Amino acid sequence: MTNLNVVVCAGIVPDPLQTLDPVQTGEKPGLRNEMMLPHVLDPWAGHALYEAAELVKETGGKLYVVSIGPKAKLQQVMMTIAQKVPFQLIAADAAAGGFSDSKQIAVQLAELVKQIDGLDLSNTLLFGGWESASRGAGTTLQMVGEILGVTDQFQGVDKISLNDDGSFKVLERIEGGKHLHSSCSGAPAVLGWATGYLPEPPNNPQIGMTNMRTIMPALQQAKPADLENPELTFTAVELPKQKRDTKIVKDISADEIAQEIIDWIKSK
């Protein structure tokens, strides 16, 4: 199989190591001082990106990244990601918070994919995160595929093995800590990645310089994306409450400790 293209839907999110404080901003919630927080590539999207880069390297295809977020934050994140793997960016300008309807995001992402000049969807795989640290909701990537007419979909993917005839095998996560081995006759297909098998590539300044020649014009040309949904309302937003019950005892066996933990869980 040669010249297989991969499109990665990759969102950016506030750095989870920061304190994320949800607040009511106008008619809908947001994060306190969101534009002041450092942003990173969504971890699930990162796995998809690195797996995609290795795949197009093997086939001689092209890697595209479609992303929706504030231009300033996209530039900040892309300056780091650009040094990892070569890709072409297609972006739209919109808020990066996690209080958007996944359907609206899917519609906008599908439009960005349609804007890729000369892209042959029949010879393309659509990658993205199985979940998201921001607004994936486990549904966005599926809907992007449906909008584009790509119905062969695999979610919770850990590995893809490409065959010479263009078909491929997929290792998908299922319940019980097990994997499902699936086969697909070939592109087009949607793959939502879990963790993958590849590590994060090292920085390469030369790749970064080449990428930034196209990333900066792409960001300058990024058009606003309409993520508003008047039917979506939030009654309240707050951080999960933490509760800690501590008891210090001596001379108790491991079996007794285990039973006490089981009893505590059952009582909740």
**How many structural domains are present in the chain?**
1
Is 265 domain-assigned? no
- Does residue 207 have a pLDDT over 90? yes
Instruction: For residue 200, tell me if it sits in a domain.
Output: yes
E runs forming strands in the chain: 5-9, 12-14, 22-25, 28-31, 39-41, 63-69, 88-93, 124-129, 153-162, 168-174, 178-184, 189-193, 223-224
In a domain, 246, yes or no: no
Distance CA 100, CA 139 (A): 13
List helix spans (H) across 60-185. Answer: 71-81, 102-114, 140-147
Domain-located, residue 179? yes
pLDDT in tens, 129-180: 887 766 556 788 999 999 999 999 999 999 999 998 889 999 999 888 888 9
CATH number at residue 209: 3.40.50.620
Q: Confirm whether 84 is domain-assigned.
A: yes
Owning domain of residue 93:
5-224
14 pLDDT band, cuts 50/70/90, is: confident
* Half-sphere exposure for 247 (CA within 13 Å, toward CB): 7
Please report whether residue 28 resides in a domain.
yes
Closest to 192 measured CA to CA, from 137, 122, 121, 245: 137
**Digit-coded pLDDT (tens) for 60-119:** 999 999 999 889 889 999 999 999 999 999 999 987 666 777 888 899 999 999 999 999
Does residue 257 have a pLDDT over 60?
yes
What rounded mean pLDDT belongs to the chain? 86
